[in-house]
Structure 1
């Protein structure tokens, strides 16, 4: 079973990270504990995460709310009844229309079982989800962190996390992701909660862009 965290253990893990890393202790002292962001383990949640790829949180939520207005309950079966035109009217791009259809079909066919993921290891979940077009490592990281509360995820596909580590540690802009991964080794096995603290630090900066914004890759998908 993967290591997870809960509301009852969250603050104590933050404190443990503060003991491991004085910079985190300073974040907690200056800004308090970060929210424990969570989401339910549903098809709608995964649709929401796909919508958040490479756009603002506000834009993604606007599209999700438009979809909710149209079909009331966001389920695979109801989404598959919509035409591409109807999804475009819900502010879905052509690519994200395709991605959400692939996901809906995978759930309806039994290829993907969200409840089963609750008992599976990170890499097994990652392998199954990344087999679907339009879902990559960033999307899976957000799902593992916010939905399943797996405790040791460091989402280096997220620009806010990358920039927060550089700011907190005074690292140069050209620091590579490989070097950031090495820097994050000290936060194991709580890198998810460390990421929450990093977002807290980042959001405390003046006019930061939204967190949870996947970094575009060469194939233009947040993977």
Structure 2
């Protein structure tokens, strides 16, 4: 086995704590159904071959990474995340709480983001969120729990549903990438309202996550499809 970057004395890579990589079990079925129902999806989906959404399994790490990345560039987010992993190699709630505000701030996090990360860790440590039950809870129930955590708004919660819980029918209407994708592919680039987006997406149910992913890819075909907690063109996060 090759040594990890930590064993080599190097900074841990951003992806090291991704844990178990997950592939949506519903993806192939969804592709077939979407191509049958929707003329745009019929043209769009084959352009990306066997590529598909890939999620990561650790809820705390996923949410912490999302908070770190809010309202900064991906490059700055990666740099801050690498520093945080040096301070908290396992990135567990207990380890983050033990590191405390001073050590987290030294990672380049703002005072507010430091507070958000600590609040997230406190929610997990005190079991004020029910992460072990999220697989059995419906989408809105999970969102309701997540938005109680400082720094997490609906968009961040919906990205969590897509990239961590791999929910098949999420429609993130606050996501500019989705709205732009609908505009470009369905309305010849004309402005699109939330009502327009809902109307178009009615044909995608119960696979709105899958259709959203393909619209993201249509805007940024070179983007790594396996990866991230954020989507092409998506807002950096919602600050509360």
Q: TM-score, normalised by structure 2?
A: 0.79
Q: Within the alignment, does 1:132 sit opposite 2:153 as a pair? A: no
Structure 1 CA distance, aligned partners of 2:178 and 2:127?
34
Contact 2:161 2:170 in 1 (8 A): yes
Partner of 2:234: 213
- SS of 2:52's equivalent in the other structure is coil
Paired positions, count: 213
Contact 2:181 2:219 in 1 (8 A): yes
Partner of 2:89: 72
Structure 2 CA distance, aligned partners of 1:212 and 1:72?
30
Contact 2:216 2:231 in 1 (8 A): no
Following superposition, the deviation at residue 205 of structure 1 comes to 8.2
Partner of 1:48: 65
Structure 1 CA distance, aligned partners of 2:233 and 2:70?
8
RMSD (Å), alpha carbons: 2.5
- Mean CA deviation greater in 53-62 or 12-21: 53-62
Contact 2:169 2:209 in 1 (8 A): yes
List runs of 5+ in structure 2 lacking aligned partners.
1-21, 224-229
Following superposition, the deviation at residue 39 of structure 1 comes to 1.2
Partner of 1:195: 212
Q: Which has the higher helix share?
A: 1
- Mean CA deviation greater in 190-199 or 165-174: 165-174
- SS of 1:73's equivalent in the other structure is coil
Structure 2 CA distance, aligned partners of 1:20 and 1:222?
37
Partner of 1:120: 137
Q: TM-score, normalised by structure 1?
A: 0.84
Structure 1 residues 168 and 215, CA gap change in structure 2 (3 angstroms): farther
Q: Within the alignment, does 1:141 sit opposite 2:141 as a pair? A: no
Contact 2:105 2:111 in 1 (8 A): yes
Following superposition, the deviation at residue 124 of structure 1 comes to 1.0
Q: Within the alignment, does 1:155 sit opposite 2:172 as a pair? A: yes
Following superposition, the deviation at residue 140 of structure 1 comes to 0.8
Structure 1 residues 18 and 222, CA gap change in structure 2 (3 angstroms): farther
Following superposition, the deviation at residue 86 of structure 1 comes to 2.1
Structure 1 residues 184 and 41, CA gap change in structure 2 (3 angstroms): same
- SS of 1:82's equivalent in the other structure is helix
Structure 1 residues 86 and 6, CA gap change in structure 2 (3 angstroms): closer
Structure 1 residues 77 and 8, CA gap change in structure 2 (3 angstroms): closer
Contact 1:53 1:213 in 2 (8 A): no
The Cα offsets for residues 20-62 of structure 1, whole Å up to 9 and x where unpaired, read as 1111121123332442220113311110122233334343233
- SS of 1:150's equivalent in the other structure is coil
